[in-house]
Amino acid sequence: MECKKLIKKWWFWLVVIYFIIGLYVAISGGFFVPEPNTIQKIMFFFIWPIIFF
């Protein structure tokens, strides 16, 4: 039971880190420099965890 809880917390923090990176990319490059590649990276960061789960 404890191992499963640790794994769930680990995945939770991994998703949180992905969201933080996605927000950072969006703020630093996505909104000010609207390049297609940057937008695709932002979409990847936000959609990947949803698809994975």
In the chain, domain spans: 2-52
* pLDDT tens digits for range 24-47: 777 766 555 555 566 677 777 777
Residue 8 CA, chain-centre distance (Å), reads 16
Q: How confident is the model at residue 20 (pLDDT cuts 50, 70, 90)?
A: confident
CA–CA separation, 1 and 24 (whole Å) = 35
- Computed over every residue of the chain, the mean pLDDT equals 70
pLDDT at 17 over 80: yes
Q: What secondary structure does DSSP assign to the chain, as a single string?
A: -HHHHHHHHHHHHHHHHHHHHHHHHIIIIITTS--HHHHHHHHHHHHHHHHH-
Statement: residue 3 has pLDDT above 80: no
Q: For the whole prediction, is pTM greater than 0.85? A: no
